[in-house]
């Protein structure tokens, strides 16, 4: 881990030398020296990191190197702060004499700053010399080539990513691999479906990592269970849970079609009101509720009152817990560890997918699996450690496991913790910081992949070997590798398999917290130790570089953080508490911050303090769902890479007209669609964005502002959403987008898009967007391009249409798109009475979704849709029967019917079209 920290600091110094040279006048040579010294130390750290178990001397040296890197970072960042503050104070005075005195004072002060930083740099160099002497004394040598031949760490990023195993961890079929639990799963399904006189809660109990959640997931998604229960809902509870948050989560799952107004209203409900609402929703339906990871009896009792008395043919509740006493009068299903046979089967599937273990690896493999003591989590993590390694490396890992486990029980970590340590130490150094970072998130928290990737980039964890490589793409590969190594779990992925969110097992999270705490890498509040000594907590905060507050933010004293070394502050606010103005002022005094996330903090429409502009190192600023307004001092945040204003009350008129244009380092700008309210041609000056040449993501941009900017300068734009497009402007908007060479995702929304007032008259220019993969069009389309190969974008993989009002000839055009994999026809996008999917049509389509169409008949010819995996038909009230010819689609795995007409359900229940769907593995319905 020290190597990752030193590397990040060295990389940051390199960036400063390029991007912030103006602030380094007079100290540029010293900064270059420090960067070179750090790079020299970094080249030795890999050897030292791998030898920390050999004794305290090596551990001490590694710790000194880490602290040295932190101190260098503090010296440079603090110097830049002082120089910037001086520049801000150089305001012209009315009188020339006072102006001269001011300039003279600034020059003297700058000289003092130069002397101070020079002195500190010399002190650091002395420490570096001492570290070098210690390295030579204790034989810590540089490792040429980095690692053993064939080790993933010795490969380039691109080579290693080509070796990743992409299928098994992301595939829903992995839930079938619950070796040793099949019989228990059958018992529980029978308990839920057939033994209707038994209505007590079911508690799946067992130690951490034994498979409680995996088993509960298998049951929850079992076809018989889905058919038996009208309502199903799942909530993660965890140790530090909010009753209100759990109730809201359950309500959203029981009633998924809540309007935006209902969701907003629900956020203001009291706990009692939410409890009553949930009970009302459940009282007349058969329901299955899963409460995952309940820790104690009090937690269960605080939630149980929301569920109507479970009676025959009504509702059931499943709990998972490490504590068998958690639920009174429940039916306990105690899980045991796996036997040797099932342990080996699980290991082979995780390492080799559907292949057998090579004979020459079987003996060593079984020896290592035996050390896992039948614990599924340990086996899975071990499999992630060994995946892709050579036979020689298997034997090396076996030796390392043997050495680790030589420690007698009671004298060190248990076997699981040791295997976790081995897997962590095996990570390429650039992934270690990314993995430990997950410890900042609350237990069982669903982490949005896009946000995590942007955080990693803002933190400086991601380095590129080529100028052509996009940092966010490398970060996405890092995320995939952690998943492939079974160190993160996929929470949700889109229809095409892209990971949208992830979670971490609570035992792995505890490892991140423990390891990250020792490295002064992270800390969070509230911790179990927090109640013991406020002095200890304050001391811990001052040392930590990253800090997360998980609850009770309204009562938190942020002034304690002003003297800290914090670079990151994340607020998690499940109860939607608000902050006071003085708390916001205190946050603005944490001058070295790079990452600040205030999302979901109810700021009640207040203007953030002007002092926010003092956070000149800030790279990541998230204000989504805060109802906050930004001051004009935002223009001072010249290092900002990410600005997320989605769901805030921020309005363009609240900020100086050119404030955003000065944030030239911005990579991702997310604006609320209401940000542009009231903007029209009467406005004298419009905001400028064409100076934001690093911008990759822009959501939402008003068409009027877009027209007035020089778009050719936005050479890095990949993800673009434009709203309020008039018909007269469509051609100019499309023509300007064609000039964006890197555009991959495009979302265009017409003014009054639900009506026929405006329309897309033509789409041919999009055929020149050679990298366009995802396209969303909101509003009427006069006509589709006739030839998808030349007049449409043939590389398009995702197409979403909303209120397009396309006629009967639509399908004959869309089905010719050669690479289309996902098609979503939403709300009047197709107004034909019949859908026909013809022979050889939609050759690559995997996902087909329809919503609120007027279709009355659907015919699928034999040979159409040869690769379709999922078909979802929702709110198509005029459709009276299952699509004819569906039986021809042999590839179909999931069929979904939601909120259809009574006539449709009557025919469905009578089984009149059963021959069309008899071979489909999963059929989901909601009435």
Instruction: For residue range 708-717, list pLDDT tens digits in order.
Output: 888 889 999 9
In which band, very low, low, confident or very high, does the pLDDT at 175 lie, cut at 50, 70 and 90?
very low
User: Residue 96 above 70 pLDDT?
Assistant: no
- Exposure string of 720-758, with b = 16+ CB inside 10 Å and e = fewer, is bbbbbbebebbeebbebbbebebbbbbbbbbeebeeeeb
Helices (H), 89-222: 96-137, 157-162, 182-193, 212-220
Compute the C-alpha angle 191/491/219, nearest 5°.
10
In which band, very low, low, confident or very high, does the pLDDT at 599 lie, cut at 50, 70 and 90?
very high
CA distance 881 to 858: 8
Q: Are 796 and 820 in contact, with CB atoms under 8 Å apart?
A: yes
69 vs 477 pLDDT, higher one: 477
pLDDT digits (tens, 9 = 90+) for 254-266: 887 777 677 777 7
For 568-588, what is the mean pLDDT? Answer: 92
CA distance 297 to 310: 19
137-151, 347-361, 662-676: segment of lowest average pLDDT: 137-151
What DSSP string runs through 183-206? HHHHHHHHHHHT-TT--S-EEEE-
The strand pair at 499-503 and 447-448 is best described as antiparallel
In which band, very low, low, confident or very high, does the pLDDT at 108 lie, cut at 50, 70 and 90?
very low
Place of tokens 């040869």: 866
User: Residue 106 above 80 pLDDT?
Assistant: no
User: Residue 312 above 70 pLDDT?
Assistant: no
What DSSP string runs through 60-100? HHHHHHHHHHHHHHHHHHHHHHHHHHHHHT-PPPSSHHHHH
Q: Are 185 and 221 in contact, with CB atoms under 8 Å apart?
A: no
Model pLDDT, residue 536: 47
Can you tell me whether residue 622 is helix, strand or coil?
strand
CA distance 195 to 189: 9
Share of the chain above pLDDT 70, in %: 84
Token code pair at residue 761: 């008259």
For the chain, how many helices (H) and strands (E)? 29, 29
Alpha carbon 846 to chain centroid, angstroms? 24
Residues counted in the chain: 927
Compute the C-alpha angle 270/275/280, nearest 5°.
125
pLDDT digits (tens, 9 = 90+) for 12-39: 777 776 666 666 666 777 777 777 777 7
Ranges 131-145, 383-397, 872-886, most confident? 872-886
Model pLDDT, residue 405: 63
CA distance 754 to 744: 25
Kindly list the distances between the CA atom of residue 787 and the CA atoms of 63, 508, 560, 767, 840, in Å, as whole numbers in the listed order.
Answer: 64, 52, 64, 10, 16
Average pLDDT value over all residues in the chain: 83
CA distance 389 to 850: 45
110 vs 638 pLDDT, higher one: 638
In which band, very low, low, confident or very high, does the pLDDT at 153 lie, cut at 50, 70 and 90?
very low
In which band, very low, low, confident or very high, does the pLDDT at 238 lie, cut at 50, 70 and 90?
confident
Helices 359-370 & 391-404, crossing angle to 10 degrees?
20
User: Residue 762 above 90 pLDDT?
Assistant: no
CA distance 249 to 378: 30
In which band, very low, low, confident or very high, does the pLDDT at 160 lie, cut at 50, 70 and 90?
very low
Model pLDDT, residue 416: 80
Burial of 55 (0-12, 13-18, 19+ CB in 10 A): exposed
pTM comes to 0.83
- Other Cβ atoms closer than 10 A to 227: 12
State the DSSP H helix or E strand holding residue 749, giving kind and residue range, or none if neither.
strand 745-750
User: Residue 891 above 70 pLDDT?
Assistant: yes
Give the chain's radius of gyration (CA, Å): 30
ω before 526 within 30° of 0 (cis)? yes
Place of tokens 């299928």: 167
In which band, very low, low, confident or very high, does the pLDDT at 540 lie, cut at 50, 70 and 90?
low
User: Residue 50 above 70 pLDDT?
Assistant: no
CA distance 500 to 808: 34
Residues 6+ apart with CB under 8 A from 618: 593, 594, 595, 596, 637, 639, 640
Residue closest to 643 by CA, chosen among 576, 592, 698, 567? 698
User: Residue 421 above 50 pLDDT?
Assistant: yes
Percent helix, strand and coil across the chain, each to the nearest 5: 45, 15, 40
For 166-172, what is the mean pLDDT? Answer: 34
In which band, very low, low, confident or very high, does the pLDDT at 55 lie, cut at 50, 70 and 90?
low
Sheet holding 231-236, edge to edge: 231-236, 287-292, 316-321, 202-205, 331-334
In which band, very low, low, confident or very high, does the pLDDT at 412 lie, cut at 50, 70 and 90?
very low
Q: Are 579 and 608 in contact, with CB atoms under 8 Å apart?
A: no
pLDDT digits (tens, 9 = 90+) for 708-760: 888 889 999 999 999 999 988 999 999 999 889 899 999 999 998 888 888 99
In which band, very low, low, confident or very high, does the pLDDT at 6 lie, cut at 50, 70 and 90?
confident
Burial of 684 (0-12, 13-18, 19+ CB in 10 A): exposed
Model pLDDT, residue 9: 80
pLDDT digits (tens, 9 = 90+) for 429-471: 889 999 999 999 998 899 999 999 999 999 999 988 676 789 9
> Which residues are 571's β-sheet partners?
549
Token code pair at residue 539: 């001391």
Kindly list the distances between the CA atom of residue 770 and the CA atoms of 496, 657, 699, 734, 793, in Å, as whole numbers in the listed order.
Answer: 20, 34, 21, 14, 7
What DSSP string runs through 812-862? HHHTT-TT--EEEEESSSB--SEEEE-TT-STT--EEEEES----EEEE-T
Q: Are 868 and 846 in contact, with CB atoms under 8 Å apart?
A: yes
Sign of torsion, CA 366 370 372 374? positive
Q: Are 136 and 444 in contact, with CB atoms under 8 Å apart?
A: no
CA distance 854 to 543: 62
ω before 459 within 30° of 0 (cis)? no
CA distance 241 to 726: 47
CA distance 657 to 652: 8
User: Residue 624 above 60 pLDDT?
Assistant: yes
Kindly list the distances between the CA atom of residue 320 and the CA atoms of 133, 234, 315, 574, in Å, as whole numbers in the listed order.
Answer: 54, 11, 17, 22
Model pLDDT, residue 470: 93
Backbone conformation region of residue 288, classed left if phi is above 0, alpha if psi is from -120 to 50, else beta: beta
Kindly list the distances between the CA atom of residue 366 and the CA atoms of 257, 379, 386, 389, 421, in Å, as whole numbers in the listed order.
Answer: 49, 11, 13, 16, 20
CA distance 194 to 313: 10
> Which residues are 622's β-sheet partners?
597, 644
- Other Cβ atoms closer than 10 A to 422: 18
CA distance 28 to 657: 35
Token code pair at residue 395: 């034997």
For 241-270, what is the mean pLDDT? Answer: 81
Residue closest to 64 by CA, chosen among 111, 163, 131? 131
Place of tokens 């900002």: 640
In which band, very low, low, confident or very high, does the pLDDT at 682 lie, cut at 50, 70 and 90?
low
pLDDT digits (tens, 9 = 90+) for 495-532: 788 999 999 988 899 899 999 998 899 999 987 444 44
Can you tell me whether residue 316 is helix, strand or coil?
strand
Q: Are 210 and 339 in contact, with CB atoms under 8 Å apart?
A: no
Burial of 62 (0-12, 13-18, 19+ CB in 10 A): buried
Model pLDDT, residue 347: 92
Kindly list the distances between the CA atom of residue 476 and the CA atoms of 482, 493, 713, in Å, as whole numbers in the listed order.
Answer: 10, 13, 26
């Amino acid at each position: 881990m020290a190597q990752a920290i030193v590397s990040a600091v060295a990389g940051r110094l390199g960036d400063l030398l390029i991007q912030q040279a103006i602030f380094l006048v007079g100290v540029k040579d010293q900064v270059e020296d420090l960067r070179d010294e750090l790079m020299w130390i970094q080249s030795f750290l890999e050897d030292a990191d791998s030898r920390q178990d050999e004794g305290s001397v090596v551990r001490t040296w590694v710790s000194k190197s880490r602290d040295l890197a932190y101190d260098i970072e503090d010296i440079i960042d603090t110097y830049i702060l002082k120089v910037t503050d001086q520049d801000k104070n150089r305001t012209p005075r009315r009188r020339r004499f006072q102006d001269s005195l001011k300039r003279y004072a600034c020059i003297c002060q700058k000289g003092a700053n130069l002397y101070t930083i020079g002195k500190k740099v010399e002190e650091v160099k002395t420490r570096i010399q001492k570290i070098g002497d210690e390295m030579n004394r204790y034989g810590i040598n540089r490792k040429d080539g980095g690692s053993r031949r064939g080790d993933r760490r010795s490969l380039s990023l691109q080579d290693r990513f080509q070796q990743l195993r992409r299928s098994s961890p992301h595939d829903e079929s992995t839930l079938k691999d619950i070796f040793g639990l099949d019989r228990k799963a059958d018992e529980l399904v029978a308990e839920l479906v057939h033994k209707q006189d038994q209505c007590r809660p079911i508690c799946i109990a067992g130690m951490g990592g034994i498979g409680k959640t995996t088993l509960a997931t298998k049951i929850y998604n079992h076809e018989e269970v889905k058919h038996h229960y009208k309502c199903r809902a799942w909530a993660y509870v965890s140790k530090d849970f909010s009753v209100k948050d759990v109730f809201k989560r359950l309500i959203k799952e029981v009633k998924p079609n809540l309007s935006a107004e209902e969701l907003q209203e629900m956020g203001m409900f009291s706990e009692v009101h939410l409890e009553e609402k949930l009970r009302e929703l459940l009282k007349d339906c058969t329901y299955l509720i899963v409460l995952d990871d309940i820790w104690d009896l009090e937690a269960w009792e605080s939630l149980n009152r929301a569920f109507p008395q479970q009676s025959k043919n009504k509702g059931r509740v499943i709990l998972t817990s490490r504590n068998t006493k958690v639920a009174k009068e429940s039916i306990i299903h105690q899980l045991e560890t796996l036997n040797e046979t099932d342990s080996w089967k699980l290991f082979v599937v995780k390492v080799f997918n559907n292949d057998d273990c090579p004979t020459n690896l079987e003996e060593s493999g079984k020896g290592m699996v035996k050390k896992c003591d039948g614990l599924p989590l340990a086996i899975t993590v071990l499999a992630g450690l060994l995946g892709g390694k050579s036979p020689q490396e298997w034997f090396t890992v076996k030796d390392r496991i043997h050495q680790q486990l030589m420690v007698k029980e009671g004298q060190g970590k248990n076997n699981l913790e040791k295997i976790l340590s081995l897997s962590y130490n095996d990570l390429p150094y650039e992934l270690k910081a990314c993995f430990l970072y997950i410890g900042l998130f609350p237990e069982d928290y669903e982490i949005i992949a896009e946000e995590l990737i942007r955080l990693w980039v803002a933190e400086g964890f991601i380095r590129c070997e080529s100028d052509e490589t996009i940092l966010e793409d490398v970060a996405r590969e890092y995320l995939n590798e952690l998943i492939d190594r079974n160190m993160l779990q996929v929470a949700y992925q889109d229809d095409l398999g892209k990971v949208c969110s992830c979670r971490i097992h609570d035992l792995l999270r505890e490892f991140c917290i423990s390891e990250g705490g020792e490295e002064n890498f992270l800390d969070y509040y509230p911790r179990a130790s927090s109640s013991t000594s406020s002095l200890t907590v304050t001391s811990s905060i001052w040392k930590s570089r990253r800090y997360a507050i998980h609850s009770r933010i309204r009562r938190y004293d942020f002034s304690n953080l002003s003297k800290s070394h914090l670079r990151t502050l994340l607020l998690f606010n499940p109860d939607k508490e608000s902050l006071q103005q003085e708390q916001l002022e205190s946050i603005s005094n944490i001058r070295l911050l790079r990452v600040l996330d205030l999302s979901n903090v109810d700021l009640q429409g207040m203007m953030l303090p002007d002092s926010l502009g003092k956070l000149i190192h800030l790279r990541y600023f998230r204000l989504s769902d805060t109802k906050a307004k930004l001051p004009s001092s935002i223009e001072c945040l010249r290092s900002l890479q990410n600005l997320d204003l989605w769901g805030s009350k921020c309005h363009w008129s609240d900020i100086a007209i050119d404030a955003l244009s000065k944030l030239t380092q911005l990579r991702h700008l997310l604006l609320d669609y209401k940000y542009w309210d009231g903007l029209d041609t009467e406005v004298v000056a419009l905001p400028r964005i064409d100076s934001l040449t690093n911008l990759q993501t822009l959501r939402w941009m008003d068409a009027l502002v877009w027209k007035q900017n020089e778009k050719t300068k936005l050479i890095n734009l990949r993800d673009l959403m434009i709203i309020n497009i008039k018909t007269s402007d469509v051609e100019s908007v499309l023509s300007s987008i064609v000039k964006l060479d890197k555009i991959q995702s495009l979302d265009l929304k017409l003014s009054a898009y639900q009506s026929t007032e405006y329309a897309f008259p033509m789409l041919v220019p999009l055929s020149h967007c050679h990298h366009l993969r995802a396209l969303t069009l909101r509003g009427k389309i006069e006509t589709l391009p006739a030839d998808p190969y030349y007049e449409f974008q043939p590389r398009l993989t995702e197409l979403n249409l909303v209120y397009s009002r396309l006629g009967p000839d639509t399908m004959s055009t869309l089905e010719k798109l050669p690479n289309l994999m996902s098609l979503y026809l939403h709300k009047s996008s197709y107004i034909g009475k019949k859908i026909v999917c013809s022979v050889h049509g939609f050759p690559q389509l995997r996902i087909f979704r329809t919503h609120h169409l007027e279709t009355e008949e659907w015919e699928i010819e034999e040979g159409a849709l040869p690769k379709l995996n999922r078909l979802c038909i929702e709110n198509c009230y005029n459709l009276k029967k299952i699509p004819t010819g569906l039986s021809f689609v042999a590839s179909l795995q999931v069929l979904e019917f939601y909120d259809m007409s009574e006539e449709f359900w009557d025919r469905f229940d009578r089984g009149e079209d059963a021959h069309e769907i008899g071979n489909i593995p999963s059929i989901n319905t909601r009435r």
